[in-house]
């Protein structure tokens, strides 16, 4: 429900001052918060946007660490990760899972101050996480330029 008089940036600025939050622009750049609708729980909605992004990357890392035979892309891409890469990927997954579980805990606690703390802590952690994720995303992307067979691909004897 979008309130006609609702100004997201203005409401955020009040909360930013109260809780010493990151800038609206920085949060929007990382977590797409500009489209949040007014319902009286702005920090909870921002926390939800953060969760959506974290959950997205959890699924990507899980597909590499635990490839599924139903997902040919993950089976193919996972072949290009060294044992060291897999260990690093596991460590990043643990960091993301800590954020994930912190989010779930806050869904039960419902405390605006704790939501603000979560946003600040995750925003700071995200700056490091995204740099770590880039390495793995590049390996995944570059794997598609290599001359490797897809899992289950058959030879053509024409």
Return the percentage of the chain with pLDDT > 90, whole number: 77
The pLDDT value recorded for residue 40 is 81
The rounded mean pLDDT for the chain is 90
What is the reported pTM? 0.86
CA dihedral 11, 16, 21, 24 (to 10 degrees): 50
Which is nearest to 16 in space by CA: 110, 115, 116, 107?
A: 116
157, part of any domain: no
Dihedral sign for Cα 4, 116, 136, 61, please: negative
pLDDT value at 1 more than 50:
no
7-11, 35-39, 128-132: the lowest-pLDDT one:
35-39
Please report where in the chains the tokens 């001052």 appear, as a residue.
Answer: 17
Within its chain, how far is the Cα of 69 from the centroid?
24
13, part of any domain: yes
- Its domain, for residue 118, covers 8-143
152, part of any domain: no
106, part of any domain: yes
The pLDDT value recorded for residue 153 is 58
Highest mean pLDDT among 29-43, 47-61, 69-83: 47-61
35, part of any domain: yes
148, part of any domain: no
Domain count, the chain: 1
pLDDT value at 96 more than 80:
yes
């Amino acid at each position: 429900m979008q309130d006609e008089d609702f100004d997201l940036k203005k409401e955020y600025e009040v909360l930013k001052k109260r809780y010493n939050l990151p800038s609206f622009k920085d949060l929007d750049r990382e977590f797409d918060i500009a489209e949040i609708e007014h319902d009286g729980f702005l920090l909870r909605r921002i926390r939800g946007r953060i969760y959506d992004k974290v959950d997205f990357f959890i699924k990507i890392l899980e597909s590499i660490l635990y490839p599924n035979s139903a997902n040919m892309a993950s089976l193919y891409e996972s072949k290009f990760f060294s044992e060291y890469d897999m260990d690093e990927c596991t460590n990043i997954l643990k960091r993301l899972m800590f954020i994930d579980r912190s989010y779930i805990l806050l869904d039960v606690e419902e405390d605006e101050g704790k939501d603000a703390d979560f946003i600040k802590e995750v925003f700071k952690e995200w700056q490091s996480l995204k740099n770590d994720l880039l390495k793995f995303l590049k390996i995944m992307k570059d794997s598609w330029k290599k001359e490797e067979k897809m899992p289950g691909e058959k030879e053509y004897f024409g």
